[in-house]
Structure 1
Amino acid sequence: MLVRRIAQCILSVLLLFSISSPANDAFRLPEHTQLVEQIIHLNIDPQSNSFTGHTTLKLNVQSPIRYISYHSKNLEISEVSLQYQDKRHQLSIEQANQYEIVSHTVPFELSGDASLSIHFNGYLSKHMEGLYQANHEGEPTYLLTQFQSMEARSVFPTFDEPNKKSIYKFSISTPIGYDVLHNTPVKTITKQKSATLTQFRATPMTNTDILSFAIGKFETRHLYPSRYQSKVYSPQGLDVVLPEYFDRLVDASILSIEQYLDTPFPFNKLDFVIGNYGSVAAMENLGLVSLNVNQVPSKDATDMAHCQFKKLIAHEVAHSWFGNDITMAWYDDYWLNESFTEFMAAKVVQSLYPNQDMCTYTPQSSAFKDDTSNAMPLIFDVKSRKDTLAYGQLHYTKGRAVLEMLEQAMGDHKFQALMRRYVSLFSGKNVSTQQFVDLLKGPKLQNVVTDFTQTAGYPLLTLKQNKDQLVISQRDMSNRANQLWSIPVSLKLWDGKRTSVHKMVLSQQSQTIALAGQVKAIFMDAGGAGYFRYINQSKYNDIDFKHLSQEEQASFRDNEQALAIAGYINYMQYIQNMVTELNQLPLSATRSNHIVSALNDAYLEHIQHNDVYAFNAYLKQSIHLQLDWKSLLNKPYAGELLKLFGVYLGDSKAINAAQIAYQSKSHHAHLESIVMTLARHTDIEHYKVLVNDFKKTPKPQRETVLSALGYVDSASKADLYYDLLLSDDTQGMVIDYRFQFPIFNPVLREAAAQLISDKKGAIFKRVSQESLQWFPYNFLLACSTKQKQAMHQLFKGWQDIPGLSKKLTVVSDGIDQCILDSKHIGNSLQTLSEAI
C-alpha cells in the first residue's frame, strides 16, 4: 500500500507526574497501558465537511500510573472523562504533542481496568487520507477512508499503533439513503427520523491501520463461487467492469495460500470496495479490501496489465496472513507486511497462471533504480507519519528479493517449512525482523537479512579466473569503501549435456570456488533471484539462452542493461541487440512489448537532449516493422508502440492515427498513449483544446488523461499543464508527483524549474507540507550540471520544509551519477552514428 501525507503539530513539552514515568520514547504510547476494546459512534453527513462522534476506550493499566495517553490528530475534543472504580472523573482538555499523542494527568494512582470516554468533532480530509470525499465535482457523493499509516487518529481518538491491537465496535449515523460499509457485517440498521443508524459486529483483534468504512450509494456484485460470500461494492455512477477471472481468482488465492502455509484463512469476511483512492493502488483493510478504480484493467488490456492486477489481488488476499493477522511490531518493520505478502502473491500467480506470470519475475529489477547509496534502507527509524513517507517500492520489491534469495539458498521445501513455522508462531501477534531472523539457522543466512534490510544499495559481483580456480568477488555498486554483504549466490553450470547449480553464501570480499565436473558455460544468477549485478570475466562463456528459465532470462537482460548504462559494456551494442531481436519477433509476442517498453524507458532515463537526434536517427533506420496503425490500435500491445513511434520518434503516421482515434470520442484502450502523442506534437491552440476536453472526461479515464497531458514539448504547454494541476478541475486528485511529467522531457527541465518557482504560492496552498518535501523527486531524471543548478535554485526558498533537504541530496547525487552514465551512453551513440 502506498502511503499518504499528514500535517505535523508544533512541538510541545509534556510535564507528567506519575509513579512510573511516561514511555522513554515520546513518539510511542506507554507499553503498560493496553486497549482492550473500543466503542466508536460517528455522526456523518457526506454533504458536510465535518462530523461528530464519541468513543469509549476500555483500558487495562498494567503498572501504576498517574497519566493516560492516546492519539488524536486535528480533532476538536470537547469532553474527556475517566471511569475508574465505579467513579467518573472529568479530565481537562489537553493538546497533542508533536507526535499527536494527548496525555492527561490524573489526581490518583491508576491501575487495572478503566475506561475513557471522549466526545469530539472532526473534519473531512482535503487529501486522500483519513476520512475524505472521494467523488469529483458533479458526481454522486461518497466517502472513503485510508488509515494506513497513523491516520485513524484523524477520525477518532484511539491507540493508533500497530502493536496496540484491540477489538473495535462501530456504529455510524448518516442521513437516510446512504449505505455504510465496514470491516465487519452489519448487526442492525435502525431508522431514526431523518437518519439511519448502522451498527456493526465487533472486529476481531486488529490494529487501526486496517480499519475502514465507506459511505455512499453502492452497487453490489456477489462473487461466485465464493467461500465467504464475498461481495464487491462500487459507488453508483462509477462504471466498473471487473475481469471475468476475478471471482475465481479471489477464492483460488485463498486456497493456494492456505496450502502453501498449511494454515486456514484467518478471518471470516472478505469483501471489496472499489473507488477513488488517489495514488494508492489497493489497501488490505480487514474484511473490506480497497481497490482503486484506476487499477482495474480493461478487457483488452495487455497480458502484463492483467498479470499485474492478478498479483495485486493475490497480494491483498495474502495480507490476511501477513499484516492483518501477523502484524509488524512497529512501523520500522513495514517490510515484513509488504515483502512477505508480495512473495506470496507471486507464488499464487505462478501457481494459478503459469503461462501468464511474466509480472512475477525478478522483482529486484525495478528495485535497483531506487536503491542508491542515499536511499533509505528497508529498516529505518520511524517516529511520525512523515517518516513513513519514505516507504516505497523497495519494501515490496527488495524485501521480496531477500526472501527469494533465502528460499534459493535453503531450498524450496526448507524455506516453506520456515514460512509455516513463522505463521504458526506469530499468528494473531506482532512480530519484529529480529524474531524472523532468529528462526533462521546459522549466522550466514541471518546476516543476509540483516545486511540487505539495514543497508541501502546493492553489490556488484565479478567472476574471474585465477589459474585453474574461479574467484567470485563483491564490491559496492555505488563505490562505497568497505561495504560488504552476505550474499546467497547460485551459479548455473553447463557441462555440455546438462545444467547443475552451485550454491554458496559470499560473505567476504572474495572467495574461491571449487567447481566439480567439466564446466563449459556459466550463469551467475540461477533462478533470477539475486539482489546484485554481476559480470562474468572468467574463461567460461555465458550459458545459451535456451538453457535458462524465463526468470533467468529476465535477470540476464536486466543485468545487461545495467552494465550498459554504467559503461561496463557498450550501450548501443545492447540497444542493437534488442532492435535485432525486435525485428525478428511478431508484435504480439510478450518479448516484443518488453523491448519496446525498454526503448521507451531509454528516452526517459538514459538518452539526454543532445543525443536524442542521433538516437532517433538510429532507431528509424534500424527498426523494420510493418505498422498498420488502423488495425494496430485495436491490439492490446499497441500502447507502448504508439509511445515509441508517436511520442518519441514523431512518426507522422502514428501521430495521424492518434488524432483519428482521439476524434472518434469513444473510449479507447490506449487513451494514455494517444493523449501523450497529441500533447507532444500538437500546437498550443490544439493543446488548449486537449486541456478543456479533460474537464469533460469521464471519471474512470480522468486520472489517465491528466498524466498523459504532461508529456509536452514546450515551456508554454508546461505552463498550461501546471495551471491545470493547480486548478479546481483537479480537486480530489493527487497532483504533487505529476509535476514531473514535463520534466521527463530533457529540454524542459530548466524551464520547468522556473515555472514551479513562479507557481510556488499556489503549490503551497494546494499541496500539504508532507508532500512538498518530496517535490525534488520530480527532478529524479535530471542529468546535467545546468539542470542540477536550476533545481537547487528552485528549492533554495523551500529549505524550511522538514525532510526536503534530505530528498534534495538524494536527487542531486542521482544527477551526478546520471552525468557520468550519460558520457558512456553518448560516446557509444556517437561512435555508432559515425559508423553508420
Structure 2
Amino acid sequence: MPQILARHIVGLLMLCLSSLTLAVEVDYRLPKSYAVTEQSIALTLDPVKDGFTGTTVLKLVVHEPMDRVGLHWVDLNVTPPQLTGSDGKLRTLTYEAGDYEMWWLGDGSPIAPGQYTLDIAFSGDYSRDALGLYKSTFAGRDYLFTQYEQSLARRATPMVDEPDSKIPWQLTITAPEGFKVASNTPVESQSKNGDMVTRVFKQTPPMPSYLLALVVGDFDVTPIEGLSVPGVIYSPKGTGGDTGFAASVTPEILSALEDYFGSKLPYEKLDFVAVPDFSFGAMENVGLVTYRTELLLRGDTASGSAAANTVNTIAHELAHMWYGNLVTMEWWDDLWLNEAFATWMASKIVDDMYPQYESNLQLPQAAAFGADAVAQSRPYAKK
C-alpha cells in the first residue's frame, strides 16, 4: 500500500511539474518598453556576387529601465552593436539568440529611459528561395529582388520586424555602375566612386518593415503615362516592349481608386516590377509593387482571362495602398482583413470598369474551397 501510494504521489508531482512547464509561454512579440522611431539602412549590393554588406542606424526611445534590447534578424553576420545615449556615451553591446528569431542586446548594465542611437554593421548571403533579399537569374542576367511579407525583412537587416512598428525608413544603396536600382521612394541624391554608384533614397512615410522593397539589375524601364504620381515598369532586359497593356490600364484603375477614397495615392511614386522568379502573384510594396512577369508582360493588348487576371491583380495591389499600407493591421492574425478589403475593392473596380470580363459572375469563395477542405486547414484567427 505505501509503495502504491508513493507511486501515485510521484506521478502526481510529475504531472504538476509537467503542467507548470507547459504553462510557461515564451512571448513571441518584442516588448513595448522601448520603440524604434526611425531607421536608416545602407546596403552594398552586386547581383553578380553571392552576398551583401550593410550598416543600419536605429533611433530608439526607451520608456522604462531595462537590461536589454531585442531585435529580429536571421542568418546575418552581425558585429557588436554600438549604443549611444543622448549624453554621447558609447556602449558596445553583446548579443544572444532568443526564441522566434529574436536577438537580445545588452552589456550587463541597465539601460535607462531616454533616447538612443543603435549602430549595427552586418553581412549576409542572398537567398535563392525567392524570399527575403534574393538573387534571381533570368536569360543569363543576375537580378536582386525582395519579398519581405511575412516577417522576412529580418533576413536582410536587423530591425523590429513587426507590422505595428510603422516608422520612417531611409535606404541608401551602393551598386555597380550600369545597374538600375529602385526602392520605395525616389532617389534624393546620387554619387559615384570608381565603378560604384551610391543612391540615397528619400525617407519613406511611416510604414511597416514588410513593405520595404528594392530591386537591382539590368532592367528595361517603361514609363506609365497618366498617373497622378510618377511611375514606371521595371522588367528584365529585352521585355520592355511587352508591358503596353499593363501600362495602359494602370492609370484608369488608380484614378478610380482615388475617386472612391477621395484622396490621391498617399505615396510619391508608383513603380511596378516584373519579377521572373516570384513566390506569389504580386506584392503591394509602397512605391514599388512587384508582380509575376506574366501579369505585366501581356504585350500591347490582352483579352479574356489573361486580361481579367492582370487588371484584377493591379486593382488588388493598388487597393492595398489604402487597405494595408496606409492603414495596417496590428498583428498577422488580422491579415485576412487586409486581403479581404483589397479583394472586395478590386472586384468592385473591375466589375464597374471592365464588364466585358464578366468577373461578377465568378463566385469569390470558389478559390478558397479547395484549401479549406484539406485536413491541415486552420482558421485565420482564434479566440
Structure 1 residues 247 and 278, CA, compared in 2 at 3 Å: closer, same or farther? closer
Structure 1 residues 221 and 310, CA, compared in 2 at 3 Å: closer, same or farther? same
Which residue matches 1:91?
93
Letter of the 2:120 partner, please give it. Answer: I
Relative contact order, higher structure (CA 8 A, sep 6+): 2
Give the CA deviation at 1:180: 1.0
CA contact (8 A) 2:184 2:285 kept: yes
Please list every run of 5 or more consecutive structure 1 residues that lacks an aligned counterpart in the other structure. 1-23, 381-453, 455-836
Which residue matches 1:826?
none
Which residue matches 1:288?
288
Give the CA deviation at 1:238: 3.9
Write out aligned runs for 1:377-456 (5 A): 377-380=379-382
Mapped partners of 2:361, 2:228: distance in 1: 26
Which residue matches 2:316?
315
Write the deviation string for residues 346-400 of structure 1: whole angstroms up to 9, x where unpaired: 11111111232326732112222222384211225xxxxxxxxxxxxxxxxxxxx
Mapped partners of 2:366, 2:34: distance in 1: 44
Mapped partners of 2:211, 2:368: distance in 1: 26
User: Is 1:183 the equivalent of 2:184?
Assistant: yes
Number of equivalent positions = 355
Match of 1:342, SS state, is helix
Which residue matches 1:619?
none
CA contact (8 A) 1:297 1:306 kept: no
Letter of the 1:119 partner, please give it. Answer: A
Mapped partners of 1:314, 1:129: distance in 2: 24
User: Is 1:44 the equivalent of 2:53?
Assistant: no
Which residue matches 2:366?
365
* Match among 88, 111, 117 for residue 113 of structure 2: 111
Letter of the 1:46 partner, please give it. Answer: P
User: Is 1:134 the equivalent of 2:136?
Assistant: yes
Match of 2:322, SS state, is coil
Mapped partners of 1:231, 1:247: distance in 2: 8
Give the CA deviation at 1:277: 3.4
**Structure (1 or 2) with the greater strand fraction:** 2
Structure 1 residues 168 and 298, CA, compared in 2 at 3 Å: closer, same or farther? closer
Letter of the 1:43 partner, please give it. Answer: T
CA contact (8 A) 1:33 1:60 kept: yes
Write out aligned runs for 1:759-774 (5 A): none
Mapped partners of 2:367, 2:53: distance in 1: 44
Give the CA deviation at 1:139: 1.3
Q: What is the TM-score when the length of structure 1 is the normalising length?
A: 0.41
Mapped partners of 2:367, 2:73: distance in 1: 37
Which residue matches 1:260?
260
CA contact (8 A) 1:187 1:199 kept: yes
Which residue matches 1:230?
231
Give the CA deviation at 1:194: 2.5
Mapped partners of 1:335, 1:82: distance in 2: 38
Write the deviation string for residues 22-57 of structure 1: whole angstroms up to 9, x where unpaired: xx8532111232111111111122111111111110
Structure 1 residues 248 and 291, CA, compared in 2 at 3 Å: closer, same or farther? same
Write the deviation string for residues 530-552 of structure 1: whole angstroms up to 9, x where unpaired: xxxxxxxxxxxxxxxxxxxxxxx
Q: What is the TM-score when the length of structure 2 is the normalising length?
A: 0.87
User: Is 1:100 the equivalent of 2:104?
Assistant: no
Which residue matches 2:277?
277
Match of 1:173, SS state, is strand
Which residue matches 1:341?
342
Structure 1 residues 302 and 355, CA, compared in 2 at 3 Å: closer, same or farther? closer
Mapped partners of 2:269, 2:124: distance in 1: 29
Write the deviation string for residues 168-224 of structure 1: whole angstroms up to 9, x where unpaired: 111111122222110000011111123111111001101111100001122111112
Write out aligned runs for 1:207-606 (5 A): 207-238=208-239, 241-244=242-245, 246-296=246-296, 298=298, 302-358=303-359, 361-372=362-373, 374=375, 375-380=377-382
**Structure (1 or 2) with the greater helix fraction:** 1
Mapped partners of 2:240, 2:207: distance in 1: 33
Mapped partners of 1:66, 1:196: distance in 2: 40
Write out aligned runs for 1:626-705 (5 A): none
Write the deviation string for residues 70-124 of structure 1: whole angstroms up to 9, x where unpaired: 11100010221101131110111x2432311111234123212111111111110
Structure 1 residues 220 and 34, CA, compared in 2 at 3 Å: closer, same or farther? same
Mapped partners of 2:247, 2:242: distance in 1: 12
Mapped partners of 2:48, 2:374: distance in 1: 48
CA contact (8 A) 1:222 1:230 kept: yes
Mapped partners of 1:188, 1:328: distance in 2: 33
Which residue matches 1:71?
72
Please list every run of 5 or more consecutive structure 2 residues that lacks an aligned counterpart in the other structure. 1-24
Letter of the 1:74 partner, please give it. Answer: D
Structure 1 residues 265 and 301, CA, compared in 2 at 3 Å: closer, same or farther? closer
Mapped partners of 2:313, 2:81: distance in 1: 42
CA contact (8 A) 1:52 1:120 kept: yes
Mapped partners of 1:258, 1:143: distance in 2: 31
Give the CA deviation at 1:308: 1.5
Give the CA deviation at 1:237: 3.3
Mapped partners of 2:365, 2:283: distance in 1: 23
CA contact (8 A) 1:308 1:359 kept: no
Mapped partners of 1:159, 1:237: distance in 2: 38
Give the CA deviation at 1:268: 2.3
Letter of the 2:131 partner, please give it. Answer: E
Mapped partners of 1:69, 1:360: distance in 2: 50
Structure 1 residues 252 and 25, CA, compared in 2 at 3 Å: closer, same or farther? farther
Letter of the 2:211 partner, please give it. Answer: I
Letter of the 2:313 partner, please give it. Answer: L
CA contact (8 A) 1:307 1:359 kept: no
Which residue matches 2:149?
148
Runs of 4+ in 1 over 6 A off after TM superposition: none
Which residue matches 1:55?
56
Which residue matches 2:33?
32
Mapped partners of 1:153, 1:178: distance in 2: 25
Which residue matches 2:122?
120
Letter of the 2:304 partner, please give it. Answer: D
CA contact (8 A) 2:83 2:93 kept: yes
Which residue matches 1:165?
166
Mapped partners of 1:265, 1:96: distance in 2: 40
Mapped partners of 1:367, 1:26: distance in 2: 32
CA contact (8 A) 1:35 1:165 kept: no
Which residue matches 1:757?
none
Match of 1:328, SS state, is coil
Match of 1:39, SS state, is strand
CA contact (8 A) 2:351 2:360 kept: no
Match of 1:163, SS state, is coil
Q: CA RMSD in A?
A: 2.0
Structure 1 residues 110 and 240, CA, compared in 2 at 3 Å: closer, same or farther? farther
Larger Rg: 1
Mapped partners of 2:282, 2:330: distance in 1: 22
CA contact (8 A) 1:349 1:357 kept: no
Which residue matches 2:6?
none
Which residue matches 2:7?
none
Write the deviation string for residues 408-430 of structure 1: whole angstroms up to 9, x where unpaired: xxxxxxxxxxxxxxxxxxxxxxx
